[in-house]
Chains A and B, each alone.
Chain A
Amino acid sequence: MDNLKIEGTQSTPSIVADFTAGTVEMRGDSYPENSFELFSPAMQWIEQYLQQGRPLTLNLHLLYLNTSSVKAMMDIFDILEDAHKAGQTVVVNWFYDEQNERVADLAEEFKEDCSFPFEIISQVE
């Protein structure tokens, strides 16, 4: 299975999926014109990866998300939730700059419906 690497721009996060490491990393702001186009490859990659029964860690360094990106993230967490209920190991680490506590509050909102391990981690950037 190929790795995935989408370069970030000012309005879109970078997305890097590493098969060997079993990680997906998203970093930056996200207010794309077409969030479906942006997140679809990542969702497909995650779904295909999880079909192989391997553990997955999703590392997020996201700052601003527009509404459709919020929806996309919730869809991704739904995929992880299904995998978790099916007995697979999935972990989300949401990193935030300790200068910006409000990102942590927002991560808490996302975490609310997730039963898999979901860490919200302060970081000095």
Chain B
Amino acid sequence: MNVRDEKHLELIIETLLADPENEGNPLRYALSELYAEYRSLLHQIDRITRISDRYQTVSRDEKEALTGRYNKQLRQLEKIARISDRYQSMMRDLNEALKDASTKDALTGIGNRRMLMESLKAETGRAERLERPLTIVLIDVDRFKSVNDAYGHEAGDKVLVRIANAIRNGVRDYDLCGRWGGEEFMVIMPEVTATEGAAVVERMREAIAGIEMMADGAPLQISASFGIAQRRPGERTSDTINRADAALFDAKRNGRNRYEIAG
């Protein structure tokens, strides 16, 4: 029954019940009771529908709020992860820079004494274990003090940079080079005997002697002396270094711009 039919029927019933002609009709009482019952049921259905609708609204609102919160948190989480990743990569790069700074010589860009010490330790251990040759070369710039005295520290620094470059370009792929201190450099040559190392050193010496530099309008004479020592089996690293140092001293005494091999 649709609403219009319902309204129509209600109108008929209400008219019948109101008509005084139907007073005393035995069906009138029954119809009146039935009609009251019908009205009350209708009212209840109305209420139930309204309450149910309200529940649905609340539940829908809640769902929307939860979805909103969920989406917001998801966005926040994504953002946190993104920012956090960037902080981590920043830290990683800083770490790299620190490692660089701690193993590289600030002036020349080649390894520093710390790097050389660590490499010496590792290479000595390897040479001992595998019974392989290892050669150490100590390099000292000739008459460096006079360059500093005559032309100043800036010129001296430039000389050191040029020499460091010559050394770096002169070593083989597996060799390690660094600034040992002041105007002293070191090359570590794994898998190489002193004689084999001397060939590399000789090229390096020529390269350094060939450096063309001007200071105060005059050409600078640059050269370096070299002490070569091949590690003896079982020898402590400091002893190998001392022998290279002694050979370097010999090279200086024998006229500079040359190498000597430690006996």
- A and B are interacting partners: yes
A interface vs B, CB < 8 Å? 64-67, 70-71, 74, 102-103, 105-106, 109-110, 112-113
Chain A residues within 8 Å of B83, by CB: 65, 70, 106, 109-110
Q: How far is the CB of B101 from chain A (nearest CB, A)?
A: 13
Q: How far is the CB of B73 from chain A (nearest CB, A)?
A: 11
Q: How far is the CB of B75 from chain A (nearest CB, A)?
A: 8
* B57 contacts partner chain A, Cβ-Cβ < 8 Å: no
Contact between chains at A74 and B90 (CB < 8 Å): no
Contact between chains at B80 and A64 (CB < 8 Å): no
Q: Interface SS of chain B: helix, strand, loop or mixed?
A: helix
Chain A residues within 8 Å of B82, by CB: 109
User: Would you list 24 pairs from A and B whose C-beta atoms are within 8 A, ordered by A residue?
Assistant: A64-B87, A64-B90, A64-B91, A65-B83, A65-B84, A66-B84, A67-B80, A67-B84, A70-B80, A70-B83, A70-B84, A71-B76, A71-B80, A74-B79, A102-B86, A102-B93, A103-B90, A106-B86, A106-B87, A106-B90, A109-B83, A110-B83, A112-B79, A113-B79
Chain A residues within 8 Å of B79, by CB: 74, 109, 112-113
Q: What 0/1 readout, one digit per residue, does chain B (21-42) give for beta carbons within 8 Å of chain A?
A: 0000000000000000000000
Q: How far is the CB of A14 from chain B (nearest CB, A)?
A: 19
Q: Cα distance A113–B79 when bound, in Å? A: 10
Complex partner residue of B87 from A65, A71, A74, A112, CB under 8 angstroms:
A65
Q: Cα distance A74–B82 when bound, in Å? A: 13
Contact between chains at A102 and B80 (CB < 8 Å): no
Scan residues 62-113 of chain B and give those whose CB is less than 8 A from a CB of chain A: 76, 79-84, 86-87, 90-91, 93
